[in-house]
Amino acid sequence: MDTLTISCMDRRLNGILDKENDGSTIMLRNAGANASALRDSIKDIISGNIGKIKLMAHSDCGAMKVVHSALKEGVKTSDYVYQNLVKQFDGKPFGTRKELEELNEKLQMEELKAISNGIEVESNFVDLSKYHFEEPNALIAVFTYHSTDKYEDLCKRAGLDTEATYFIQASSIEEVYSDIEIAVTKLSIKHIVLMAKKPSEYRPVYADMQKLKMKEFMEGTTVQFIKL
C-alpha cells in the first residue's frame, strides 16, 4: 500500500522528501503543508490504496511567515491567500513564529484525522536548522500533479536545479492557485514551470498553463511548459 505525504513546497525539503520516498510515497505539496486547502486532492487520493497519511510540516516556513505578518503586523494578502491559508489561524492563540508552526501542525493533523476515513495519520515535523543549504541565485516553482516521483529525477529530466526548485503538487491546479500566488508575490519567484509527465497529462497541464497566465498576480512572471 502507498503512503500519502502532505508537505510544504519549500525547495529545501526536496532532498529530505526523496530520502523518505521508497518509490511508493505519493506527494502533495503546497505553501505550509496546508492540508485544509488540499482537501479535494487528499479525498481523491485516499479513495485508492493508501495505508498511511503523513504530514511533514517544517521549521522556518515561508508560508508561516506570510500568516504571521498578516495577522501580527497587518501585512496585506489577497482574499484568495487569506481564505486558503491565513483564515484558519485568525483568532487562534499564538505569539512567535515557532508557536504558529506548532499550531499549524496541530490544525493540519486535526484536518487530516477528520478526513482520513480511518487511515492511520502521523506527523513528522522537519527541523531545517539541522541541515545546511546553499542560497541559489534564481528560484523556480514547479506545478505538477501528485506522484511518487523523486524530485531529483524530475529535476534531472527537466534540466532544473533541485536545490532551487519549489514543488507545488495537487490533483488540480485550481486547488493551488493561492500557493502559486504566494510563490510569485511573497517569495519573488519569477519563473513558473508546469510539468507534465504522462501523455494523458500534457493537454490538461497545457490548458492550465493558459489559465494561469491570465491570473493578475502572474504579471511579469514567465510560465514554461515542460513535457517529460
The minimum distance between CB 65 and Zn ion, in angstroms, equals 9
Cell numbers given for 218 = 502572474
- Rounded to the nearest 10 degrees, how much is the dihedral formed by the CA atoms of 68, 74, 79, 81? -20
Span near Zn ion by CB under 5 A; candidates 61-69, 73-81, 93-101, 126-134: 61-69
66 binds Zn ion (CB under 5 A): no
Is 166 or 177 the residue whose CB approaches Zn ion more closely?
A: 166
The minimum distance between CB 58 and Zn ion, in angstroms, equals 6
- Exposed e or buried b per residue across 153-172, where buried means at least 16 C-beta atoms within 10 angstroms of its C-beta: ebbeebebebbbbbbbbbbe
Q: Rounded to an integer, what distance in angstroms lies between the CA atom of residue 179 and that of residue 169? A: 10
- Residues 169-198 binding Zn ion (CB under 5 A) are none
Q: Rounded to an integer, what distance in angstroms lies between the CA atom of residue 40 and that of residue 150? A: 23
The minimum distance between CB 10 and Zn ion, in angstroms, equals 4
Span near Zn ion by CB under 5 A; candidates 53-61, 168-176, 200-208, 220-228: 53-61
Q: Rounded to an integer, what distance in angstroms lies between the CA atom of residue 176 and that of residue 37? A: 8
Please pick, from the candidates 61, 100, 155, 212, the single residue that binds Zn ion as defined by CB under 5 A.
Answer: 61
Span near Zn ion by CB under 5 A; candidates 16-24, 55-63, 109-117, 127-135: 55-63
What residues contact 132, with CB distance under 8 A and at least 6 apart? none
The minimum distance between CB 79 and Zn ion, in angstroms, equals 22
Span near Zn ion by CB under 5 A; candidates 36-44, 57-65, 123-131, 167-175: 57-65
What residues contact 108, with CB distance under 8 A and at least 6 apart? 6, 33, 34, 35, 36, 55, 57
Binding mask 4-23 for Zn ion (x = CB under 5 A): ----x-x-------------
What residues contact 199, with CB distance under 8 A and at least 6 apart? none
Cell numbers given for 30 = 503546497
- Binding residues for Zn ion, rule CB under 5 A, total 4
The minimum distance between CB 156 and Zn ion, in angstroms, equals 24
Binding site for Zn ion (CB under 5 A): 8, 10, 61, 63
